[in-house]
Structure 1
Amino acid sequence: MRKIFLLPFLLLFLSSCSSDSSSNPVIEEQMYFPPNDGTTTWTTKSIADLNWNQSAVQPLLDYLELKHTKSFIILVNGRIVMENYFNGHTATSPWYWASAGKTLTSIVTGIAEQEGLLDINDKVSDYLGTGWTSAPLAKENLITCKNLLSMNSGLNDALGDDVSPANLQYVADAGNRWAYHNVYVKLQDVVANASGQTWTNYFNTKLRDKLGMTGGAWVNSGDGLSVYWSTTRNMARFGLMILNKGKWNGAQIVNENYFNQATTTSQNINLAYGYLWWLNGKASYHMPQVQLEFPGSIIPTAPNDMFMALGKNDQKIYVIPSKKMVVIRMGDAADAENLALSDFDELLWTKISALYQ
């Protein structure tokens, strides 16, 4: 009698446990990092595994090829979901990052700060000496390293790529005018002087080698600027470290506080700009080379939490934290030659989002 009496309660208990178990959230997949041993090993994940739309793959690939793409990668949780090469480009072919490489300078500046070598709130002349611009001394001394990271140095952006002192002329007080300008490259001199090493040596030791970005190199572009060249997978490695908030396989490469500053609005003029990173989903944005404000998000077809490294001729690193996703595009200009931003982004994201919607 006692066993029969308890049976309904036992069944009710088991039913409750079963219900609780089915309502528990699925354990989140761990972030994957490819090995740093120089091998080509990189774990993949299929479109089918993600329950994505297989029929959206070919239209995306056709569009990429039509738009002069050389390489394209999608990572989800660090795993390669798509990796495609076009027009004779291969996994071992290097290509230039153009201004997408500004983000390398941003992150290495943060690394130097966390090592106590510099403070981004210090004026640039503390590290380069006075006379690094042709601005009046009082105005030059207003320019901090943070101003170079934020693109609001107040120096004239209409004089070309040359960053010699004669070409760095005063237009406005630092902090009062946003202008996309190659003067950011002076941060590489700041890091070199602060560390007592060449920029290349410091960069290789503190970032490139720690991420296994084998073979990448800075190449002088002939106008006093260096442009980074690497394989597409090396660009993807950098994007993956950024997706993981400055960590690589458990190692903190750049501290999370700096990372958060770099990937959020850095000043109140161009809301869509951090520390050399472009930010999607803001109320307004500025374009390079113009002093106009445009309403809305830079790429309305892309996720609002996305931030980006964007370079001339459509070199792209898109990082989307909400989707644990990194997207890389390298190649020639999709349309007419352009600077960091182009209409290409919007249609490209229409096709990328069709994969998972």
Structure 2
Amino acid sequence: MKLKSLFFIYACFLLIACNQSDSEIENTPTENPASSEAMYFPPSGSDVWETKSLSSLGWHQDKAQDLLNYLQSKNSKSFIILQNGRIVMEHYFSGHTATTPWYWASAGKTLTSTVTGIAEQEGFININNKVSTYIGIGWTSAPLAKENLITCKNLLNMTSGLDDSLGDNVSPANLQYKADAGTRWAYHNVYVKLQDVVAAATGQTWSQYFNTKLRDKIGMTGSWIQSGDNSVYWSNTRSMARFGLLALNNGNWNGNQIINTAYFQNAVNTSQNINLAYGYLWWPNGKSSYHLPQTQFQFNGKLIPSAPDDMFCALGKNDQKIYVVPGKKLVIIRMGDAADNVNLALSDFDDVLWQKINAVIN
């Protein structure tokens, strides 16, 4: 009996040990090489840029050509996908090349947003101050009491209250009162006055300050070119991708905090309670409603339903795009002519493009 009892106890001990071992194996996290991989930043002044294959990420290589065919059929000139900073797809269409410059259009508003934040962190401005603190009174034709309501933050989040129906001209005569600042969201070219604010506050030209504090620090190329009433940024596609990579990393470039994280997070999230899908000249996705340029109508639902909820983006006329997806460590760039009809920001192209992208990456 004693021998049988000892055998029974020993068997139970083995069973418990085995169960514990199995449990430990099941609960031990398996390391994902992609998640532990260090973020990559391409060196400045060089064409060197690390790459990854679609297969190494487990993406669907068989769906890539359909995405490229769609891009080409929609008048695209260039397309890049970065994952963790490395190039996974890079394609050029219709004679466009890696060195050909193209305009950012309103996607470049995000450059103005970023440099405004840099000027604030350096103590030159405070975005809560009225615009006239820096460029003087009479910069609009609004009554002085109404003009004095307009802060730099109102220009960043498109709630200046100035009449958006008068075109892009930002001379005082064309900047007319429509509503009190902060009470009405309207997509308006008056945001460019932020460039005057930065220039006046820093004692430098806008281009000088931009180049020194942002462009050169992350290895971008390109320049601001006057086009009618707008100063528009032109660069090659990789320079746009560099800026997208800075955005993916909350304003940090390879350990150098170019723009403070708190400001940047405010910039890429809802900045006022009228258009939930608008930050500081950035468009956050995943909100319950949104407004579009040239209308006061509120659309219900997400800005780009097929895109990830945590995505934020820069949207420019005729479908210039910077998509940033923190959860997937993605930056996606599209430059070109209008995919379909002329548009100022969002178009039907965005959602269909994301359906094609999802077929590749998911």
Fold in common (TM above 0.5): yes
RMSD between superposed Cα atoms in Å: 1.8
Query: Which residue number corresponds to residue 177 of structure 1?
Result: 184
Query: Which residue number corresponds to residue 354 of structure 1?
Result: 359
Deviation per CA, 1:70-101: give whole Å up to 9, x if none.
Answer: 00000000000000000000000000000000
Query: Which residue number corresponds to residue 7 of structure 2?
Result: none
Give structure 2 stretches of 5+ with no counterpart.
Answer: 1-9
Query: Could you state the TM-score of these two structures normalised by the residue count of structure 1?
Result: 0.94
Query: Which residue number corresponds to residue 216 of structure 2?
Result: 209
Question: Which whole-Å CA distance do the structure 2 matches of 1:250 and 1:73 have between them?
Answer: 24
Distance 1:290 1:13, change over 3 A: closer
Match status 1:292 vs 2:292: no
DSSP 3-state at the match of 2:182: coil
DSSP 3-state at the match of 1:83: strand
Cα deviation, residue 318, structure 1: 0.4
Counterpart among 225, 245, 252 of residue 219 in structure 1: 225
Quick check: which has more Rg, 1 or 2?
Answer: 2
Cα deviation, residue 22, structure 1: 4.6
1:221 aligned partner, one-letter code: S
Query: Could you state the TM-score of these two structures normalised by the residue count of structure 2?
Result: 0.93
Counterpart among 98, 109, 114 of residue 102 in structure 1: 109
Question: Which whole-Å CA distance do the structure 1 matches of 2:120 and 2:321 have between them?
Answer: 26
Question: Which whole-Å CA distance do the structure 2 matches of 1:259 and 1:100 have between them?
Answer: 16
The 4+ residue runs of structure 1 with deviation greater than 3 A are 11-18, 24-27
2:162 aligned partner, one-letter code: L
* 1:93-132 superposed matches below 5 A: 93-132=100-139
Cα deviation, residue 270, structure 1: 0.3
Cα deviation, residue 25, structure 1: 3.8
Deviation per CA, 1:127-168: give whole Å up to 9, x if none.
Answer: 010000000000000000000000000000000110000000
Cα deviation, residue 313, structure 1: 0.6
* 1:261-340 superposed matches below 5 A: 261-340=266-345
Counterpart among 31, 37, 46 of residue 29 in structure 1: 37
Query: Which residue number corresponds to residue 5 of structure 2?
Result: none
DSSP 3-state at the match of 2:306: coil
2:306 aligned partner, one-letter code: T
Query: Which residue number corresponds to residue 133 of structure 1?
Result: 140
Cα deviation, residue 275, structure 1: 0.2
Counterpart among 71, 86, 89 of residue 93 in structure 2: 86
Question: Which whole-Å CA distance do the structure 2 matches of 1:147 and 1:28 have between them?
Answer: 40
Question: Which whole-Å CA distance do the structure 1 matches of 2:259 and 2:286 have between them?
Answer: 24
Give structure 1 stretches of 5+ with no counterpart.
Answer: none
Question: Which whole-Å CA distance do the structure 1 matches of 2:28 and 2:37 have between them?
Answer: 18
Question: Which whole-Å CA distance do the structure 2 matches of 1:91 and 1:187 have between them?
Answer: 31
